[in-house]
Amino acid sequence: DAFAPMAMKGFIWYQGCHNSGESQLYCAKMHALYNGWAKAFGNPELSFRFVQLAPWGSADIAGIQEAQAVFAAEEPHASMVVINDAGNLTDIHPNDKRTPAKRLVAQALRRDYGRDWIRDASPTLKRWTVEGDRFVLSFVGAEGWYVYNPKKGDASVGFEIAGADGV
Protein backbone atom coordinates (compact mmCIF):
# COMPACT_ATOMS: atom_id res chain seq x y z
CA ASP A 1 0.00 0.00 0.00
CA ALA A 2 2.96 2.37 0.37
CA PHE A 3 3.02 2.89 -3.40
CA ALA A 4 -0.73 3.04 -4.03
CA PRO A 5 -2.29 5.00 -5.60
CA MET A 6 0.78 6.02 -7.64
CA ALA A 7 0.29 5.80 -11.39
CA MET A 8 1.42 2.35 -12.55
CA LYS A 9 1.45 1.05 -16.09
CA GLY A 10 2.07 -2.50 -14.96
CA PHE A 11 4.00 -5.09 -13.05
CA ILE A 12 6.29 -8.02 -13.66
CA TRP A 13 6.01 -11.02 -11.34
CA TYR A 14 8.37 -13.90 -10.71
CA GLN A 15 6.48 -16.48 -8.65
CA GLY A 16 8.10 -18.44 -5.87
CA CYS A 17 6.87 -21.92 -5.03
CA HIS A 18 5.11 -21.38 -1.73
CA ASN A 19 1.87 -22.38 -3.47
CA SER A 20 2.88 -26.02 -4.02
CA GLY A 21 -0.16 -28.24 -3.68
CA GLU A 22 -2.58 -25.38 -4.37
CA SER A 23 -3.01 -25.80 -8.10
CA GLN A 24 -6.82 -25.95 -7.77
CA LEU A 25 -6.88 -22.52 -6.10
CA TYR A 26 -3.98 -20.90 -7.89
CA CYS A 27 -5.80 -19.37 -10.87
CA ALA A 28 -8.37 -17.72 -8.57
CA LYS A 29 -5.54 -16.38 -6.40
CA MET A 30 -3.84 -14.87 -9.46
CA HIS A 31 -7.11 -13.17 -10.46
CA ALA A 32 -7.48 -11.82 -6.90
CA LEU A 33 -3.89 -10.52 -6.93
CA TYR A 34 -4.37 -8.83 -10.30
CA ASN A 35 -7.77 -7.37 -9.44
CA GLY A 36 -6.49 -6.09 -6.09
CA TRP A 37 -3.54 -4.33 -7.71
CA ALA A 38 -5.67 -2.92 -10.54
CA LYS A 39 -8.09 -1.50 -7.96
CA ALA A 40 -5.37 -0.20 -5.59
CA PHE A 41 -3.61 1.60 -8.43
CA GLY A 42 -6.82 2.79 -10.09
CA ASN A 43 -5.90 1.15 -13.39
CA PRO A 44 -8.41 -1.39 -14.76
CA GLU A 45 -6.01 -2.05 -17.68
CA LEU A 46 -2.96 -2.69 -15.51
CA SER A 47 -0.32 -4.64 -17.41
CA PHE A 48 0.74 -7.84 -15.65
CA ARG A 49 3.64 -9.84 -17.12
CA PHE A 50 4.70 -12.88 -15.14
CA VAL A 51 7.14 -15.77 -15.33
CA GLN A 52 5.95 -19.37 -15.41
CA LEU A 53 6.97 -21.33 -12.34
CA ALA A 54 10.36 -22.88 -13.02
CA PRO A 55 10.37 -26.61 -13.77
CA TRP A 56 11.99 -28.82 -11.18
CA GLY A 57 11.45 -32.25 -9.67
CA SER A 58 8.10 -31.68 -7.90
CA ALA A 59 4.86 -33.18 -9.22
CA ASP A 60 2.96 -30.08 -8.02
CA ILE A 61 4.73 -27.80 -10.48
CA ALA A 62 2.80 -28.90 -13.58
CA GLY A 63 -0.54 -28.11 -11.90
CA ILE A 64 0.63 -24.63 -10.94
CA GLN A 65 2.03 -24.04 -14.44
CA GLU A 66 -1.30 -25.09 -15.95
CA ALA A 67 -3.20 -22.75 -13.59
CA GLN A 68 -0.82 -19.94 -14.58
CA ALA A 69 -1.56 -20.58 -18.26
CA VAL A 70 -5.31 -20.53 -17.59
CA PHE A 71 -4.99 -17.21 -15.75
CA ALA A 72 -2.96 -15.71 -18.62
CA ALA A 73 -5.62 -16.86 -21.11
CA GLU A 74 -8.47 -15.47 -19.00
CA GLU A 75 -6.97 -12.08 -18.07
CA PRO A 76 -6.65 -9.86 -21.15
CA HIS A 77 -3.99 -7.61 -19.58
CA ALA A 78 -1.77 -10.47 -18.39
CA SER A 79 0.75 -12.66 -20.15
CA MET A 80 3.03 -15.50 -19.10
CA VAL A 81 6.69 -15.96 -19.99
CA VAL A 82 7.34 -19.67 -20.50
CA ILE A 83 10.62 -20.96 -19.04
CA ASN A 84 10.30 -24.75 -19.25
CA ASP A 85 13.33 -24.65 -21.51
CA ALA A 86 15.37 -22.47 -19.16
CA GLY A 87 14.82 -24.09 -15.77
CA ASN A 88 16.88 -26.55 -13.79
CA LEU A 89 15.21 -29.85 -12.91
CA THR A 90 17.41 -30.25 -9.82
CA ASP A 91 17.07 -26.74 -8.40
CA ILE A 92 13.90 -24.68 -8.00
CA HIS A 93 16.02 -21.52 -8.31
CA PRO A 94 17.39 -21.70 -11.87
CA ASN A 95 20.63 -19.82 -12.48
CA ASP A 96 19.52 -18.51 -15.87
CA LYS A 97 17.78 -15.22 -15.10
CA ARG A 98 18.60 -13.60 -18.45
CA THR A 99 16.21 -15.78 -20.48
CA PRO A 100 13.10 -14.88 -18.46
CA ALA A 101 14.21 -11.22 -18.29
CA LYS A 102 14.59 -11.02 -22.08
CA ARG A 103 11.19 -12.64 -22.56
CA LEU A 104 9.55 -10.23 -20.10
CA VAL A 105 11.09 -7.28 -21.95
CA ALA A 106 9.86 -8.64 -25.28
CA GLN A 107 6.30 -8.98 -23.93
CA ALA A 108 6.31 -5.48 -22.44
CA LEU A 109 7.74 -3.92 -25.60
CA ARG A 110 5.19 -5.63 -27.85
CA ARG A 111 2.08 -5.54 -25.68
CA ASP A 112 2.57 -2.33 -23.71
CA TYR A 113 4.69 -0.15 -26.00
CA GLY A 114 3.41 -1.14 -29.45
CA ARG A 115 6.55 -2.74 -30.86
CA ASP A 116 4.46 -5.18 -32.90
CA TRP A 117 7.43 -6.56 -34.89
CA ILE A 118 8.81 -8.21 -31.74
CA ARG A 119 7.99 -11.90 -31.31
CA ASP A 120 7.02 -12.38 -27.68
CA ALA A 121 4.95 -15.54 -27.30
CA SER A 122 5.86 -19.18 -26.88
CA PRO A 123 4.18 -21.79 -29.07
CA THR A 124 0.83 -22.84 -27.62
CA LEU A 125 -1.02 -26.06 -28.39
CA LYS A 126 -4.03 -25.30 -30.59
CA ARG A 127 -5.34 -28.84 -31.13
CA TRP A 128 -4.33 -32.46 -31.45
CA THR A 129 -5.65 -35.25 -33.63
CA VAL A 130 -4.98 -38.92 -34.20
CA GLU A 131 -4.46 -39.75 -37.87
CA GLY A 132 -3.94 -43.47 -38.26
CA ASP A 133 -0.81 -44.33 -36.32
CA ARG A 134 0.25 -40.66 -36.02
CA PHE A 135 -0.41 -38.20 -33.21
CA VAL A 136 -0.57 -34.74 -34.82
CA LEU A 137 -0.16 -31.54 -32.81
CA SER A 138 -1.01 -28.07 -34.12
CA PHE A 139 0.42 -24.97 -32.47
CA VAL A 140 -0.26 -21.24 -32.48
CA GLY A 141 2.88 -19.10 -32.58
CA ALA A 142 5.18 -21.67 -34.18
CA GLU A 143 6.28 -21.28 -37.77
CA GLY A 144 8.66 -24.21 -37.59
CA TRP A 145 9.93 -26.78 -35.15
CA TYR A 146 13.31 -26.91 -33.50
CA VAL A 147 14.27 -28.58 -30.23
CA TYR A 148 17.66 -27.60 -28.88
CA ASN A 149 19.68 -30.64 -27.88
CA PRO A 150 23.22 -30.08 -26.62
CA LYS A 151 23.94 -33.81 -27.03
CA LYS A 152 23.75 -34.20 -30.78
CA GLY A 153 22.30 -37.53 -31.81
CA ASP A 154 20.68 -38.14 -28.39
CA ALA A 155 16.99 -38.76 -29.11
CA SER A 156 16.08 -38.82 -25.40
CA VAL A 157 16.10 -35.01 -25.16
CA GLY A 158 13.21 -33.25 -26.81
CA PHE A 159 9.47 -33.47 -26.78
CA GLU A 160 7.24 -35.77 -24.72
CA ILE A 161 3.50 -36.40 -24.81
CA ALA A 162 1.53 -38.26 -22.14
CA GLY A 163 -2.11 -38.97 -21.49
CA ALA A 164 -3.93 -38.19 -18.24
CA ASP A 165 -2.62 -41.52 -16.90
CA GLY A 166 0.97 -40.36 -17.41
CA VAL A 167 1.63 -42.85 -20.23
Kindly report, residue by residue over 6-47, the tens digit of the pLDDT.
Answer: 888 999 988 766 666 778 889 999 999 999 999 999 999 999
The answer to whether the pTM exceeds 0.85 is no
Beta strands in 4-156 (DSSP E): 10-14, 47-51, 78-81, 124-131, 134-140
Mean pLDDT across the chain: 84
